[in-house]
Amino acid sequence: MSRRIDHLVICVHDLAEAEQSLRTLGFTVTPTGVHPFGTSNRLVQFENNFLELLAVTDPAAVPPAGPGRFSFAAHNQTFLAGGEGMSMLVLHSADAHADATRFAANGIGAYAPFDFGRDARLPDGTTARVQFSLAFATDPPMPGIAFFTCQQHHAPELFWKPDYQRHRNGALRVIEVVMSAPEPAVHRVFLERLTGCAAALAPGRLTVGDAGDRITVLDPVEIARRLPGLARSDVPRFCAARLQVRDLDATRRELQRNGIR
């Protein structure tokens, strides 16, 4: 994939409860970060991407969306009204403002770029200011979920911390995001324009990217084959993420110790 996976936004009602669930799975979780637009997060960092647990913690501060303006917080607030789960897929960016211009030219996101900063608590207890720029993209045939690119403006060492990247389950990074859709081919053009990478079509599936940074879209038959027991959805949604680990046997032992099947 021309753009690598940066992070996954996972909406939850209770950050503390979600943190405990991830610790039981063997992950290290960062301290809480507070956004200036009504949401808070906790992260699970890997080598070069991460999971973002996100909750709406100050509804009064959530800005509404408007013409040419995508509201990250309002999108996730609406998503949470329907339940918890992955609401957004984020790709790495070296220039989010240029991405926003390109997305608008390609008809996948006529939104202004969004710049913001927040304080991050470091492993030694100190804080540092981290700043980001986001460029949003949406696809009308995929209502309820969204995509964006993320550019970090601060020094890398203020965000990426080895202490936060060591996990008892041996997780190294997210290497694939799996989506379901009634007709995967319908989303080919959007995903190609989003990622800058050609998609591959096969019966019941569409894939974008290589084995280490892949988006896979499966129809209901293929979803049932790969993820048996998953409830069927008639609208596109994010279903799963695949993580690379250092040692599968060690991961299995860690899960067994914690009572996870």
What is residue 121's predicted lDDT score, i.e. its pLDDT? 82
Tell me what pLDDT residue 158 has: 86
Domains and their CATH numbers in the chain: 5-164 (3.10.180.10), 171-257 (3.10.180.10)
Is the pLDDT higher at 221 or at 123? 221
Query: Helix (H, G, I), strand (E, B), or coil: what is residue 47?
Result: coil
CB-based contact 165:45 (threshold 8 Å): yes
pLDDT for residue 1: 47
Reported pTM = 0.95
pLDDT at 162 exceeding the cut of 50: yes
Rounded to 10 degrees, the C-alpha dihedral 7/8/13/15 comes to -30
Q: Give the tens place of pLDDT for each residue, 10-61.
A: 999 999 999 999 999 999 999 999 999 999 999 999 999 999 999 999 999 9
Res. 123: pLDDT tops 60: yes
- CA distances, 241 to each of 173, 175, 205, 244 (Å): 10, 8, 16, 10
Question: Got the DSSP string for 168-215?
Answer: TT-EEEEEEEEEE-S-GGGGHHHHHHHHTS-EEEETTEEEES-TTSEE
Instruction: Tell me the C-alpha to C-alpha distance, in Å, between residue 137 and each of 65, 78, 132, 195.
Output: 14, 17, 16, 11
Is it the case that residue 129 has pLDDT exceeding 50? yes
Q: Are 128 and 108 in contact (CB under 8 A)?
A: no
pLDDT of residue 168: 97
Q: What is the pairing mode between strands 127-137 and 146-152?
A: antiparallel
Give the tens place of pLDDT for each residue, 169-227: 999 999 999 999 999 999 999 999 999 999 999 999 999 998 899 999 999 999 999 99
Nearest Cα residue to 66 out of 111, 108, 33: 111
80 has pLDDT over 80: yes
Give me the pLDDT at residue 140, please.
95
Q: Pull the structure tokens for residue 89.
A: 């897929």
Whole-angstrom Cα distance, residue 212 to residue 217? 16
Q: Are strands 199-202 and 85-92 parallel, antiparallel or unpaired?
A: unpaired
